[in-house]
Structure 1
Amino acid sequence: MRTLLLLTLTASLGVAAAQTAPTKGGVAALPTPDGAYLRWYLPGDVLPARGFALRLSGPGGTRTVSVSSPQPYTAALGLPRPEYDSLIATYKTPPRSASERTQRAFFGLSVVARPAYARALGIMITLKDLRPGQYTVTVTALGSTETKVGQATFATAPLMPVPQPGPPRAKAAPAAVQLSWSVPAAASSGLVVAYNIYRAAGNGPFVLLRPAPFFPSSQPGGDVFKDADLQAKTTYRYRVASVDLFGRESARTVPITVTTEAVTVLPAPEDLRATVRERAVTLRWTPPKDSRITRQVVVRGTDPSRPLTAVATLKPGEATYTDTTGRVGEPYVYAIIAGTAGGEVGTRSNLVSARPVNTRPPAAPSGVTIKAGESALTLSWKANREEDIRGYQIYRSESEQPGAPALLVNTEPVVGTTFSDPLRAGLLNRYFYRVTALNTSQAESARSATVSSKLVDKTPPPAPALLPFTVSAEGVKLSWMQADIPDLAGFRVLRATGNAAPVELGRLNAATRTYLDATAEVGVTYAYSVRSVDGAGNVSAPSTPVAIHRASTGVPAAPQGVQVKALGARAGNRVTWKAAPGLAVVVYRLDAAGRPALQASDLITAGSFTDTAGTPQSQYQLRSVDERGQLSSLTNPMPVDQP
């Protein structure tokens, strides 16, 4: 409360002092013989982009003084560089939330208590070398717009000392001291914002108590400072000094001496026991007997190493309490502490542990859905409305039949409303799932409605393996074997010629293991392969290709379309023909009737032959030869076509 009241004061400064009574405003002025100390608030708790402008009017006219905000580091009066950087960063941008505004307000206390902070921010300066007389100063913040901060009037004069607080009063307590004092008279204390408190043990030296300074409230009669954690039955001395807005300290008060009282320990409640009930914990104990005790406090927490929180205050003689406010399933520790009307407390009782339970099972989860992936099935469901849900259990079965065994697939209760069950890719089983809810008391719900699914099958089957082939007059016959897969759907037979891409010849069912290619041409070499296809449409890699050449199985056909033309000038004759693919041709010449034919050429795969020994009277016969050396019949003798 003291802090917030002071922040209200310092946010607007609320003071503008001359040598007499201060007046309200946004600027404070403390006269000096040749000028004044000036200080003002920071509008919006953010540094203005262009600093401040001070319009000073008085003897000698009116002039404007520019003040940078922030001031350079060299003007920070000894602040460590990291501390200076942190201060400037804090006020660089305006607070964006309520929490930031609260933090900025508390940080403002440091600005009030430490003039070096104010100088670094550019909201405190010293005017010097002014002529004697009265002056008026107006401060304006220069941001995107100009904002008037405030105005103060002062007259140059000797520097006034900081007014001293009234003599302190001390009240001894067990191992503690409570100090109070009166604030300086209002006419002279307008710039006093805090106090420094000094303490000495016995006849030892006085030491400033930290944190300093101590910020009072604006309540009448001053404030109360409690110095706790002292030694019992020990003498201490205290002095108090005022601190003004410019960081100056007053003379210290006359020391006051006080001796702390002895600490008398209150007896603790004994034999604390806990009984767990449905959604509650009942405590029983033996209450202490001491006339100073005016109350007993039940304290509770979840960590015995940390402070416990009060949950109930009872009369001195009560010996039982039922706690119905705990969260079901949460493990708690309890203790009882006795106290007096003056605020003294005794040691706590023994600690007991208890966990309120809820044995009523939660509702079965609803809205269960399943989504299939390649290697996992993912379940989703709606969250239960009960507040004590620990998590969810997932059960998997391979059958929907009543009584079918179900496996709990999660190792710990699932927190959240989704679960992914990892499975080996390529499995073809259908799985059935049900979900239950588990509360923090281990009560489990009935199982949800069943959902089921298979994995998304994107795993291709293994490739077939081609077996030895046969070539017959009907064509090329392939056969293969296939690894056993449960969802085999069929096969695709492929054939390629040369470097061309394979062409699909046919699609066969899963039971077929042979294929006859009756379209294979004689004399052509083909590369055959087979692919398997599963029920999901996944196609295997092709089997290892097998090269097959279909040779002729009978007597080759004789060449067709034989023609012979004389080349003239005794250059011979040119013979042309058409032969079946894959067959070579031999040319024979007849030079006279009745004489045997002479072989005029070797095996020719082209469709023509030039016989340089031929004459216009020559005749020719041709014969085809296949790769096995079989000969066709001779063509009829063909004479030379005379020009």
Structure 2
Amino acid sequence: MRKIVVIIAIFMLIVACARRIPPIPPDAQFPASLGAVKGIVKEGRFFITWRIPTKDVRGKRLKNLIGFYLLRNDSCKECPNYRLIKMIDLSSEKGYIKRGNIIWVEDNLKPGKIYYYKIVPVVKGGYKVPASKPIAIFWKLPPQPPKWLHVEGKDREVLICWQFDEGVDGYRIYRKKEGENFPLESISKELISQTCFEDKGLINGEKYIYTVRAVIKSDDLLIEGKGAKEVAVIPRDLNPPAPPKGLRALLHKNGILLHWLPNKEEDLKGYNIYRKENKKKWIRINNRVIEKSTYLDKDVSLGKIYFYKITALDKSSPPNESKASKIIKVRFVTGG
């Protein structure tokens, strides 16, 4: 009799459980694999990031994904006691989403400890979805910011230098413009082992802001420290045009007509004309930059001797001025 009662009790328990667990409908959607769950360290903070799946396991558009469980274990990779760190709700936690990726920041990690993480997608209906493969990190104290950061603006490039630190495996350089945030990715694809870097292909006249962060290695994880004090610089073209050539003078009825060969620089702005009389000082006689390769000097007196030279200017701000052309000597005796 007792056996019959036990069997009936077990049967009733199974029936009751079956009533509480909803059956899985044939059109239920389950997300495709999350792919790679990555751990990165930026400015001394640990970020966990993964791609939000858009397809289900059958390749159809995923409609019922509502969020993710972020789980952590402080003991071992295969231990069952993963605890919930955060339920990320896709309908409200917009601050964690960037370009289709979830980004979560883990703070207050202890140096010398190993942490394990898993991600579990959450779908409507409460159906169980497999967790991601666990990732493990061995946390080390991030390196200190580099010191003595120095920048030098050149023609369409900037030279960045800083002081070397012992125990550092490399450096990353970040660049932004005024009013922007530094991007997640550094301007160098690989870690920089030297303490100077040339950033090329920039726009002259624009302000760029830089910082440098030191990096140490912890197994496969690169731990990046906080950035050095930000420095700003404006690259400029410091290379002047070539000196103009072929300067000659012709007498004109209204003055002295100067001719020369035009410069071929692509960023040429124009020319300045300089004149003097005997032992007097050189003076610039054009009020505006001369764009053509001719100039008529009307402010001359009959019988006087004049000396001329010209320079070329580029479009930099301020413009670079070339060395002077050869000097020519002209006596204004009669009009042409």
Structure exhibiting the larger radius of gyration computed from Cα positions: 1
Structure having greater relative contact order (Cα 8 Å, sep ≥ 6): 2
Please give the TM-score of this superposition, normalised by the length of structure 1: 0.28
